[in-house]
Amino acid sequence: MTAPIQIKSGETFTLNVGPQHPATHGVLRVKMDMDGEYIVNAETVIGYIHRMHEKMGELKTYPQFLMNLSRMDYLGALGYSHGHVLLVEKAAGIEVPERAEYIRAITVELNRIASHLFWFGAFVMDLGGFSPLMYALQDREYILDMLEGITGSRLTYCYYRFGGLYNDVDDTFLAAARRFIPRMRKSLKKYHKLVTGNIIFRKRLEGIAPLTQEICRKYGATSAVARGSGINFDVRKNEPYSVYPEFDFDIPVYHECDSLARYNVRMEEMEQSLRIIEQGLDKLPDGPVMPEKKPRIKIPPGDYYQAVETARGSFGIRLVSDGGKNPYRLKLRSPTYSNMHLFDESCRGMLIMDALAFMGSLDLVIPEIDR
Amino acid sequence: MIREKILQELQGLFPQAAEPAKTPPPSDVASEAETEKKKPKKEEPRANGVIERDYKVHGYHIDAQVSVDQLLGAVNILDKLEFFIESITGVDWIKEDQLEVIYDFSRYDFDLCRVVIRTRVPRKDPSVPTITEIYAGANWHERETHDFFGIKFEGHPHLIPLLLPEDADFHPLLKDYKA
């Protein structure tokens, strides 16, 4: 990957990757103009599972929309719910008990690890290694069991309420979370031994698909895509919300800009999330998880915005209220939408197998792009 | 501080109109909640200008409403100051017979400043210039806004349905859309 690739003008052919293709992790289609194994041009086609969540947002009342958020990103659902409840609480001036906010942070971080674990397994499988997926899913299972115990569901959680939580965590959850931390740390070591140092793995990623900071900025890339390009941006630090300022954690940033950098960022993020969970469990205050009086959701007319750091990047949610029972307009800014968008421009001149490795490093969840 | 700089630069877009632009900011937030209770009637659509918002309530710092002609100028200012594009969206103000296009920008560094640029176009012939020349990443956002609201982005290189079916001729987020 040192000499720039020269594409000769000549015959090209069109290759359809997707809409049903294992490498796209969902219903995504990329129309590629190919010159042999090299991509001359690519056009991403999305919208196959578009469900118009934003219209539902206008037609449903505020509480009715709660469960829609977890249908966006099925791997890291809690982060999205968190953004929604924070926005409505901010706009309506609802106070949240401290314990509830701590539990939210703990569960969001657990969910982030679960999401990264799934990405890790699927990403390595994209590159041809099957067994890491099995290890990753086993660790993820512990998290899903824990979250199932308190939220009642394994994937599409609807756990947060305006003002607090659906229910308090129990001792089983707390004990399981405590047990999970050392086990996960051991697993991370195992993953690094198993995958990170593997020469085939490294050769597939090192120097592949470099993304400049300029491209990230022009496309609004966030999450590991930006942090792998040397941009120190994480909403949890840049725009602190919830109880994150109380925690001591770092934002991993790599400057290599390649697929391996994006991999390294996510792997390190899991360790940082473990640190947050550990501190959260130590500091967890006593008290109620819902305000004593059921909060009234009355939002004065205006335009409100809230950004949160989900597993996939900066998720923004905008609410335009006219003072009614339903939002006048609800805009969901999904992070992968912007991250995926830069694929078309960046993959030109790449070998197709490199492009697929690159796509894997973007950590795509298609329902979240299509909304 | 980037906030003062961007405020100054954006206000530079309104040379003579500097006076009316300054009148609205007064008690934007603190009294907003109180005044709403007293007069729930809808207020006048706001005049073009730059307003500083209370971040704790609204979630952004600077709120600039510009005319369609000033849009590219405003976006250029943000590009020069290294903002990244967050999203583009629309709002249908059917009572005022207008469509609003909202552009969100934010920063990667720790000099936190969220900027919202908005512009209003008549509902009959909604058309704004594309900003894909400045921000390549606006491409999908503009196509999505075109899908949902039918707003035309003049000069957009590929304005075909993105999220809706490829033969879609309806715009579901318009308030008078009936499924």
User: How confident is the model over A45-77, as pLDDT tens digits?
Assistant: 888 888 889 888 888 888 889 888 888 888 888
CATH code: domain of residue A212:
1.10.645.10
Does B37 fall in a domain?
A: no
Does A171 fall in a domain?
A: yes
Mean pLDDT of chain A: 88
B49: left (phi over 0), alpha (psi -120 to 50) or beta: left
Pairing of strands A302-310, A164-165: unpaired
Domain that holds residue A356: 13-370
Q: What is the pTM (predicted TM-score) of this model?
A: 0.86
With beta carbons less than 8 A apart as the criterion, state whether A22 and A333 touch. no
With beta carbons less than 8 A apart as the criterion, state whether B92 and B175 touch. yes
Does A175 fall in a domain?
A: yes
Domain that holds residue B58: 2-23+46-154
Does B55 fall in a domain?
A: yes
Does A4 fall in a domain?
A: no
Does B34 fall in a domain?
A: no
Q: Which residues of A touch B143 (CB under 8 A)?
A: none
Q: Which residues of B touch A216 (CB under 8 A)?
A: 84, 108
Distance from CA of A93 to the nearest CA of B (A): 9
Mean pLDDT of A227-236: 89
Whether B86 and A371 lie within 8 Å, measured CB to CB: no
What secondary structure does DSSP assign to A5-50, as a single string? Answer: PPPPSS--EEEEE-SEEGGGTEE-EEEEEEETTEEEEEEEE--TT-
Considering only CB atoms, B104 lies closest to which of A218, A237, A316, namely A316
Number of domains in chain A: 1
Q: Which of B96, B98, B108, B173 would best serve as a mutation to test chain A binding (most A beta carbons within 10 A)? A: B108
Distance from CA of B40 to the nearest CA of A (A): 8
Chain centroid to CA B99: how far? 10
Cis bond upstream, residue A19 (ω within 30) = yes
Q: Nearest CA to A365 among A331, A315, A305?
A: A315
Q: Which residue of A has its CA nearest to B88?
A: A333
Helices A171-191 and A259-283, packing angle to 10 deg: 150
Number of domains in chain B: 1
Tell the residue number behind the tokens 């339903």, with chain if given: A326
Amino acid identity, position B15: P
User: Does ipTM surpass 0.90 in this model?
Assistant: no
Q: Which residue of B has its CA nearest to A331?
A: B89
CATH code: domain of residue B122:
3.30.460.80
Q: What is the pLDDT at residue A317?
A: 92
Instruction: Select the more confidently predicted residue: A21 or A69.
Output: A69
Does B91 fall in a domain?
A: yes
Q: Which residue of B has its CA nearest to A314?
A: B86
Reading the block at residue B90, the tokens are: 């629309």
Does A97 fall in a domain?
A: yes
What are the tens digits of pLDDT across the range A323-361?
888 899 999 999 999 988 888 888 888 888 888 888 888
| pLDDT > 80? residue A156 | yes
CA gap A72, A9 in Å, rounded: 41
Does A1 fall in a domain?
A: no
Considering only CB atoms, B137 lies closest to which of A219, A226, A333, namely A219
The band of B43, judged by pLDDT with boundaries at 50, 70 and 90, is low
With beta carbons less than 8 A apart as the criterion, state whether A97 and A291 touch. yes
Considering only CB atoms, A341 lies closest to which of B60, B63, B137, namely B137
Helix (H, G, I), strand (E, B) or coil at A305: strand
Does A6 fall in a domain?
A: no
Does B59 fall in a domain?
A: yes
Distance from CA of A135 to the nearest CA of B (A): 35
Does B176 fall in a domain?
A: no
